[in-house]
Chain A
Amino acid sequence: MARKAQDYDDIPGTFVFDAERSREGYGINMFCMSLMKDENRKAFKADEAGYLKKFPLTPAQADAILKRDYNRMLELGGNIYFTAKLGATDGHSFRHLAAVMTGSTQEDYSKMMLDGGRSVEGNRSKSGRDKPAGKTKSKSKTSKSRSKRG
């Protein structure tokens, strides 16, 4: 069954962890949860594909985990607080994973954050219909900082 359309699907670059994704991604998240234990981290690292067989995962989900495709994991029902445990097993921080998910280098991502983060201007809506919630229109100041990030 196709995913039911939701108002928040209009937010670009965002996979909201809702009831449907939670149901679909139960196996991904429980697998990630198992990585809280050191012995499980070791077992997973020793035989990744074999370890994944213990969890109810679709082939696409298992593939996303093995490839460390973090966006795909979210799309298939993973949640960032859970998938971050897989990242931690690989020795990566939240910030490292965030950079990976945005497709930028670690250096560029760090610089973007130090420069004030990703601007909301131009990042509110896929359809482009939505204006900022406040009454004020966006100022050119913010679009300048956006272009700087490329």
Chain B
Amino acid sequence: MARITAGVASSHVPAIGAAIDNKQTEEPYWKRVFSGFEKSKEWMAKAKPDVAIVVYNDHASAFSVEIVPTFALGCAAEFPPADEGWGPRPVPTVQGHPELASHIAQSVILDEFDLTICNKMEVDHGLTVPMNLLFGSPKEWPCPVIPLAVNVVLYPPPTAHRCYMLGKAIRKAIESYPEDLNVVIFGTGGMSHQISGPRAGLINSRFDKAFLDNLSKDPKKLTRISHLEFMREAGAEGIEMVMWLIMRGALDDKVDEVYRFYTVPASNTAVGHIILENKRKAAGKRPAAGKVKRAAARKAIDIRRG
């Protein structure tokens, strides 16, 4: 069966894409940002996913105000980079995985998540920037990608809780797919930023750090964050962080945090990045005695902590 082995969250600031495209990654301002992803690229090269699901948002590229789907799943065979007004980014066309994508669509719709299905869609920096950060700039992307575009532009986006639950439904869908596939899921956008209005430039590192901590250890707490709180604390556009909860919902309740990076700023935005791995499972085996003991000990500690 297919299985989600890890989740990756990353900001998708357009200026990061521009820095890559204009070969400015070695400039001190940008080096600070890119150096934080060196280890991530090494991790990804070892993780070797067969498929990546990338949760992102479109920025008035594929969708204008004519059609605004809350959740739009890319089921096409390929997704060309969109022309965002300066010509398409010089990145490879994203290859899809139509079979797995349509399987996910069918499964989650019957689980009461009413997705929009996109059989033709262009993808913008929201999707391609995190791919550059994790895969570098290869001639071809190393694995097929299933884009999941979430509306976070027109208020209200889906709630944090709804996103988390969609993640769970996606996980269920993947685990009911017969082929053995190693799937990595990306949540993108964020962290705190506001790029509109007189309050533009807002950054709230304290909120971001608490968000990262809870994403790792106590994601359910994050599902209770209201839209008002996201916008007030993390900026009008910081509400994008709901997308990270789709990724998190698709992982085990308990995960191993293997990497984290945070820096301010990239353009107007706080850049956050985290890699979470599901604990490895020995298929069909009972946990070893030692593991049971450790688990029991952990439980005891949790109880003591109250």
Q: Residues on A close to B: CB < 8 A?
A: 7-8, 11-19, 22, 26, 29-30, 32-33, 35-36, 71, 74, 79-82, 85, 88-89, 93-95, 97-99, 101-103, 109, 112-114, 116-120, 123-125, 130, 132-134
Contact = CB atoms under 8 A, between A and B. Distances in A.
* The 6 A-B residue pairs with the shortest CB-CB distance in the complex, in nearest-first order: A117-B203, A13-B199, A13-B198, A80-B196, A98-B200, A118-B201
B64 to A, nearest CB: 4
A93 B206 CA distance: 27
In this complex, which of B83, B192, B199 has the most chain A Cβ atoms within 10 angstroms of its Cβ?
Answer: B199
Contacts of A26: 65
A81 B153 contact: yes
Given A118-B203, A120-B233, A133-B229, A79 B60 contact: yes
Interface string B203-217: 111110010000000
Interface in B264-304: 264-265, 267-268, 270
A11 B232 contact: yes
Nearest to A121: B204
B59 interface: yes
A98 to B, nearest CB: 4
A80 B195 contact: yes
Contacts, number: 155
Contact of B200 (A33, A89, A102): A102
25 contacts: A11-B199, A16-B231, A16-B236, A17-B154, A18-B155, A18-B156, A22-B65, A33-B60, A36-B61, A74-B197, A80-B196, A82-B65, A93-B18, A93-B267, A94-B14, A94-B15, A98-B196, A99-B200, A101-B200, A102-B199, A103-B198, A117-B265, A118-B194, A118-B201, A119-B202
A130 B232 contact: yes
A8 B228 contact: yes
Contacts of A85: 60, 85
Given A19-B154, A85-B85, A94-B268, A71 B59 contact: no
B10 to A, nearest CB: 18
A112 B206 CA distance: 17
Contacts of A102: 198-201
A14 B199 contact: yes
Interface in B164-213: 192, 194-207, 210
A23 to B, nearest CB: 9
Contacts of B85: 35-36, 85, 88-89
Given A11-B231, A117-B265, A95 B198 contact: no
Contacts of A14: 194, 196-197, 199, 231, 236
A125 B232 contact: yes
A82 B201 contact: no
A22 B199 contact: no
A120 B206 CA distance: 10
Given A82-B60, A113-B265, A117-B202, 9 more contacts: A16-B155, A29-B64, A29-B65, A94-B15, A98-B196, A117-B203, A120-B202, A125-B232, A133-B229
B65 A118 contact: no
